[in-house]
């Protein structure tokens, strides 16, 4: 890695903050806080995405057996979040740093207005030298309204604030060619846009408290790298992991960034799970979208529309065989779109600046 990191998003997984018996690992937390403080002292800006709310409460409160699983999680998360943030507050205070808490739901990333509100808040905190600590609002975001996991949230946050680096701290050194517990498995140290076939090494096994697993971590890492961010999957249980990062000695899987992409594209790229409708394009439009020169999506190339979307919503682009081509922000709603369907000389339905194609990050 030859880049000089300036704005870093560090994501800490639940298992990094918990011991084998499930109790909070406050020593590990204290060590990571000291390391983040060190990074700050070296002039880096740091945003922390921390899991652990559920894990911190699990051994602390007795929930009646008959309690429904979603409510159980809501109770654990809302109780544990206080403990997590209180612990961070006193540890960062000792290290001479102020923190702020931000809890978000996927819906907050859906609307461009909320998206900009969060972004402005984060940038405001950073400008005031305050370390933002972000978690999903688990009391509100339940079932299908959730992020895949905090790796998704961290990757979206990194793209949102234009971070140059994203570090996903978990309980293994990175992605192995094989199971990480097998001593013969080799660590994949570098992944570029051209690297393919990694998913075959990833099993569905998760850490005891993990939500999305390595597969989601890899997808989010690739997506962030595609958007121009240096990404590392590294072991948060390794002493001095962040100091090693700063010294350029980090043992990790490193995802090389692609060339920088405009911010608007970053917002669109992360809206995959939140589309409001769909447009189907013909072969000509598909070719135009995949051509070297940037092209907006025009109604003349659209053969079908579904869903009920409004101007500003994110919509999915498919070809006539149902293949997912990409995402874009609708320049007008579904009603008007169906009136211009197939017509030439019309305003683009998706402007190039708000168009994100999947062609580059197929795994
Ligand atoms: N090929 C692989 N290389 C590394 N880890 C893997 C691989 N396949 C599956 N895993 C599992 O992924 C886990 C990390 O993902 P996850 O449990 O979601 O962590 P976190 O809670 O930190 O987000 C590891 O503990 C490991 O068991
Ligand atoms: N928001 C949840 C964590 C969800 C999550 O993604 O956990 P992890 O896979 O450990 O990063 C919590 O704080 O308990």
Whether residues 202 and 313 share a domain: the answer is no
Check the CA dihedral 158-164-169-173 and report its sign.
positive
What is the span of the domain harbouring residue 143? 7-266
Binned at pLDDT 50, 70 and 90, residue 229 comes out as: very high
Please provide residue 249's backbone torsions phi and psi, each rounded to the nearest 5 degrees.
-115, 25
Cα distance from N-terminal residue to C-terminal residue, the chain? 22
2 within some domain: no
- Which is the closest atom of ligand 1 to the Cα of 168? 22
159 within some domain: yes
Binned at pLDDT 50, 70 and 90, residue 355 comes out as: confident
Q: Is 107 in the pocket of ligand 1 (CB under 6 A)?
A: no
Q: Which of 214, 216, 221, 235 to mutate to test the pocket of ligand 1 (most atoms within 8 A of CB)?
A: 214
- State yes or no: 272 annotated in a binding site: no
176 within some domain: yes
- State yes or no: 150 annotated in a binding site: yes
Last residue of a domain, one of 232, 266, 300: 266
Give residue-wise pLDDT tens across range 162-182: 899 999 999 999 999 998 999
Cα 344 to middle of ligand 2, angstroms: 48
Binned at pLDDT 50, 70 and 90, residue 2 comes out as: low
Give residue-wise pLDDT tens across range 93-150: 999 999 999 999 988 887 767 888 999 999 999 999 999 999 999 888 777 677 888 9
Whether residues 285 and 262 share a domain: the answer is no
Last residue of a domain, one of 222, 243, 266: 266
CB atoms under 10 Å from CB of 79, counted, come to 18
Cα 159 to middle of ligand 2, angstroms: 19
Whether residues 236 and 351 share a domain: the answer is no
Residue 362 has pLDDT above 50, yes or no: no
Query: What mean pLDDT do residues 61-82 have?
Result: 93
1 within some domain: no
Whether residues 236 and 296 share a domain: the answer is no
Are the beta carbons of 12 and 151 closer than 8 angstroms? no
Identify the CATH number of the domain in which residue 115 sits: 3.40.1160.10
Split into its structural domains, the chain has a count of: 2
pTM, full prediction: 0.80
92 within some domain: yes
231 within some domain: yes
Residue 360 has pLDDT above 60, yes or no: no
- Which is the closest atom of ligand 1 to the Cα of 210? 21
pLDDT at 275: 85
Query: What mean pLDDT do residues 305-319 have?
Result: 93
Whether residues 203 and 308 share a domain: the answer is no
Cα 211 to middle of ligand 1, angstroms: 10
- State yes or no: 78 annotated in a binding site: no
Whether residues 246 and 202 share a domain: the answer is yes
Query: What mean pLDDT do residues 46-59 have?
Result: 94
- Closest ligand to C-alpha of residue 206 is 1
Last residue of a domain, one of 227, 242, 266: 266
- In this prediction, the answer to ipTM > 0.90 reads yes
DSSP string, 158-220: HHHTT-SEEEEEESSSS-EES-TTSTTPEE--EE-TT---GGGG--S---TT-SSHHHHHHHH
pLDDT at 363: 32
Whether residues 248 and 343 share a domain: the answer is no
pLDDT at 205: 65
- Which is the closest atom of ligand 1 to the Cα of 176? 3
- Segment holding 115, helix H or strand E: helix 112-127
Whether residues 231 and 94 share a domain: the answer is yes
Cα 198 to middle of ligand 2, angstroms: 24
Q: Is 182 in the pocket of ligand 1 (CB under 6 A)?
A: no
Whether residues 258 and 334 share a domain: the answer is no
Whether residues 139 and 241 share a domain: the answer is yes
Identify the CATH number of the domain in which residue 297 sits: 2.30.130.10
Whether residues 242 and 279 share a domain: the answer is no
13 within some domain: yes
Whether residues 250 and 327 share a domain: the answer is no
17-38 burial code (b ≥16 CB/10 A, e <16): bbeeeeebbeebbbbbbbbbbe
190 within some domain: yes
Query: What mean pLDDT do residues 201-209 have?
Result: 71
pLDDT at 361: 44
Binned at pLDDT 50, 70 and 90, residue 324 comes out as: confident
């Amino acid at each position: 890695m030859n880049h000089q990191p300036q704005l870093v998003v560090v994501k800490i997984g639940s298992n990094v903050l918990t011991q084998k018996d499930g109790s909070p690992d406050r020593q590990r937390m204290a060590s990571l806080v000291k390391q983040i403080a060190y990074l700050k002292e070296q002039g880096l800006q740091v945003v922390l995405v921390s899991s652990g709310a559920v894990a911190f409460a699990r051994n602390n409160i007795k929930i009646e057996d008959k309690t429904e699983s979603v409510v159980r999680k809501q109770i654990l998360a809302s109780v544990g979040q206080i403990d997590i943030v209180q612990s961070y507050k006193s540890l960062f205070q000792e290290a001479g740093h102020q923190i702020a808490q931000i809890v978000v739901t996927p819906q907050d990333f859906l609307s461009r207005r909320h998206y900009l509100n969060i972004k402005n808040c984060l940038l405001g905190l950073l400008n005031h030298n305050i370390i933002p600590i972000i978690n999903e609002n688990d009391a509100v975001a339940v079932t299908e309204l959730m992020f895949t996991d905090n790796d998704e949230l961290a990757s979206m946050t990194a793209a949102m604030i234009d971070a140059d680096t994203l570090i996903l701290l978990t309980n293994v050194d990175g992605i192995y060619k094989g199971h990480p517990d097998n001593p013969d498995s080799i660590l994949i140290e570098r992944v570029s846009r051209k690297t393919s076939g990694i998913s075959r090494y990833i099993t569905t096994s998760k850490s005891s408290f993990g939500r999305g697993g390595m597969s989601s971590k890899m997808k989010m890492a690739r997506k962030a790298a595609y958007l121009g961010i240096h990404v590392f999957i590294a072991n948060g249980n390794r002493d001095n992991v962040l100091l090693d990062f700063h010294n350029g000695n980090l043992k990790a899987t490193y995802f090389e960034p692609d060339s920088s992409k405009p911010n608007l594209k970053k917002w669109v790229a992360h809206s995959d799970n939140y589309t409001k409708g769909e447009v189907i394009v013909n072969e000509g439009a598909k070719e135009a979208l995949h051509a070297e020169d940037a092209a907006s999506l025009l109604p003349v190339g659209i053969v079908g529309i579904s869903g009920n979307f409004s101007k500003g919503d994110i919509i999915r682009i498919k070809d006539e065989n149902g293949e997912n081509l990409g995402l874009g922000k609708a320049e007008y709603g579904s009603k008007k779109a169906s009136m211009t369907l197939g017509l030439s000389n019309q305003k683009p339905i998706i402007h190039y600046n708000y168009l994100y194609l999947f062609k580059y990050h197929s795994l």
